[in-house]
Amino acid sequence: MIRIKLSPAFSVALSCERAVAVLVVATAFSLAILAMPVAQAQTYQVIHNFTKGLDGGFPGTGLTMDSPGNLYGTTTSGGVLSGGCSSFGCGGVYKLKAAGSGWVFTPIYSFAGGDDGSYPAGRIAIGADENLYGTTLIGGGEGSCFYSGSGCGTVFKLHPSATIPKSALAPWNETVLYRFTGGNDGGEPRGDLVFDSSGNIYGVTFIGGPTNNGVIYELTASGGGWQETVLYAAQNNGDGANPVFVARDRSGNLFGVFYDGGPHGFGAVFQLSPSSSGWAERTVYGFTGGNDGQNPMSLIIDNSGNLYGTTQAGGSLACGTVFKLTPNGRGWLFSTLYAFGSGDEGCSPQDALVMDAPGNLYGTLLEGGEYLWGAVFKLSRSSNGWTYTSLYDFEGDDGEFPASKPIFDASGNLYGTAQFGGANGGGVVFEIAP
């Protein structure tokens, strides 16, 4: 058994298999604001129980929905077994397609743990070409990072097989766009990828760079391949360390969070702005580890340019916070909107929030809740502040420890993943209907 501390309030004994999944997702962490009807009465159902076999296991990242309503996601173990990732697989990418009153699950790619990468650690992104893009935490065959000598992670693209006639069961083809070395180019990519209107890709790595504190990078198509440019390398000299998230606003500025470091050592929110001489970095806010929280995980940007995010820990009840940063012309005004940990409501948000049209916020909590297995929540704004409502408290056989943000469809149904639990202990995909 291995004991891993996931957050200041949560420590659990895990088997080696579960421990690998936790290490991949514990700090893996997107920009998404969706207009949808406000959910009221809720009905929860599991739409897939992972078996830890060919379908994968431990879905530590969340879901992405395409325009027809298909869901795509990743698992951090399982898939076709290979020699590159011990006896439990290197993880994979899957698709869920609505069919009548149910869903059809299809594995579309299994990582082999070699040059193709292993352990996907970010949400799937859908490009303008309708292909799927993502990152793997390690693998790729360049450098030695994390606990593996097989590489420091990849950025990949998946596209359907060209087989005619096409089969729903045919695996998709992978193209590795970039292999990180763990040196000045970065290593161990985290979080989600962001595209600009020209198809350039932006992301972050947790480590690497000149001081090994991580980088913010851009990938640009060039000469039939892809060229990486490091836009900023974290110094941990007051700016921050270990970026886990980046988002892009309408003006082309990048905003993100450093999990560690910053002016006070508890993480920071940063901004990168393009200019004729490169990208200029500024610290938007440095967390103090007090009521404002510590170890930020994510940001979203509303239509007015306000930033909303979560911290994994800290706050008045030491269970993490939801915060807001408002531009005021001269800088940014910080406010803590909510501190988790009261009663049975849960602790430790790990990922981004989703905002509905009226401005309510939705997310997940890794632990706690009525049955201690985590929760899906809603924060409703009012004249007196923000009110917490639990949309669902996990019980174990229906999922455990949700670590990713939910998403909504056009009808207001909520979809997400819980990384453990379920009928087979390998995690679940769930739906909450209004």
Name which of 382, 354, 377 is nearest 365 in CA terms: 377
List Cα–Cα distances, 255 to 30, 201, 300, 418, 432, in angstroms: 11, 14, 9, 27, 30
Of the given ranges (148-152, 158-162, 238-242, 271-275), which has the lowest mean pLDDT?
148-152
Judge whether 253 and 271 are in contact, CB under 8 Å. yes
- Position 88 pLDDT exceeds 90: no
CB burial string 298-326: b at 16+ within 10 A, e below: bbbbeeeebbbbbbbbbbebbbbbbbbbe
Pick from 192, 195, 405: nearest CA to 309: 405
d(CA 153, CA 135): 7
**Would you say 95 and 56 are in contact if contact means Cβ atoms under 8 Å apart?**
no
- Distance (Å, whole) CA 126 – CA 2: 36
Q: Quote the CA–CA distance of 64 and 319 in Å, as a whole number.
A: 27
Q: Is residue 8 pLDDT above 60, yes or no?
A: no
Q: Which of 18-27, 81-90, 138-147, 239-248 has the lowest mean pLDDT?
A: 18-27
Q: Which two tokens stand for residue 249?
A: 């606003």
Q: Lowest-confidence range among 68-77, 79-88, 172-181, 327-336?
A: 79-88
Given this model, what pLDDT does residue 147 score? 67
**Rounded mean pLDDT of 254-260?**
98
Domain limits of the chain? Answer: 18-433
pLDDT reported for residue 9: 33
Q: Are 194 and 206 in contact (CB under 8 A)?
A: no
Question: How many other CB atoms are there within 10 angstroms of residue 389's CB atom?
Answer: 14
List the single range of 132-146, 191-205, 219-233, 403-417 with lowest mean pLDDT: 132-146
Instruction: Write out the two tokens for 89.
Output: 């697989």
Q: Which helix (H) or strand (E) holds 293?
A: none
| Sheet containing 321-327: order of strands | 294-301, 307-313, 321-327, 332-339
Q: Is 25 helix (H, G, I), strand (E, B) or coil?
A: helix
In 3D space, the residue among 303, 306, 287, 305 whose CA is nearest the CA of residue 295 turns out to be 287
Answer whether 258's CB lies under 8 Å from 267's CB.
yes
Residue 149's pLDDT band, with cuts at 50, 70 and 90, is confident
Asked whether the predicted pLDDT for residue 415 surpasses 90, the reply is: yes
Q: Contact, 288 vs 316, CB < 8 A?
A: no
pLDDT above 60: residue 187: yes
Q: Which tens digits make up the pLDDT trace of 35-56? A: 333 334 579 999 999 999 999 9
Residues 91-98: what's their mean pLDDT?
A: 96
Angle at 210 between CA 208 and CA 211, to 5 degrees: 80
Low-confidence winner among 8-12, 46-50, 221-225, 397-401 (lowest mean pLDDT): 8-12
In terms of pLDDT, which residue wins out, 383 or 221? 221
pTM for this structure?
0.89
Q: Are 323 and 336 in contact (CB under 8 A)?
A: yes
Report helix, strand or coil for 20: helix
- Residue of higher predicted confidence among 150 and 225: 225
Q: What is the pLDDT of residue 38?
A: 38
pLDDT for 171 equals 77
Q: In the prediction, which pLDDT does 406 show? A: 97
CB atoms within 10 A of CB 420: 28
Measured CA to CA, the distance from residue 253 to residue 245 in angstroms comes to 14
CA distance 44 to 64: 19
Q: How far is CA 372 from CA 150, 306, 375, 400, 423, in A?
A: 36, 32, 8, 9, 18
Residue 33 pLDDT class (50, 70, 90 cuts): very low
User: Torsion over CA of 229, 230, 231 and 236, rounded to 10 degrees?
Assistant: 180
pLDDT at 3 over 60: no
User: CA dist 394 to 322, 338, 346, 399, Å?
Assistant: 21, 21, 11, 6
Interatomic CA distance for residues 79 and 19, integer angstroms: 17
Domain 18-433 homologous superfamily, CATH: TolB, C-terminal domain (2.120.10.30)
> At residue 16, does pLDDT exceed 50?
no
Please check the confidence at residue 168 and state whether its pLDDT lies above 80: no
Write the single-letter amino acid at 94. Answer: Y
pLDDT on residue 42: 74
pLDDT number for residue 363: 98
Greater pLDDT, 227 or 168:
227
Percent of all residues in the chain with a pLDDT value above 70, rounded to a whole number: 87
d(CA 248, CA 432): 29
pLDDT band at 80 (very low <50, low <70, confident <90, very high): confident
Residue pair 309/298 in contact by the 8 Å Cβ criterion? yes
Q: What is the pLDDT of residues 302-360, one digit of tens each?
A: 999 999 999 999 999 999 999 999 999 889 999 999 999 998 899 999 999 999 999 99
pLDDT digit string, tens, across residues 238-251 = 999 999 999 999 99
Distance of CA 153 to the CA centre of its chain: 16
pLDDT digits (tens, 9 = 90+) for 269-290: 999 999 888 999 999 999 999 9
Percent of the chain's residues with pLDDT above 90: 77
Q: Using CB atoms within 10 Å of the CB of residue 46, give its burial: 0 to 12 exposed, 13 to 18 middle, 19+ buried.
A: middle
Residue 244's CB: how many other CB atoms inside 10 A? Answer: 28
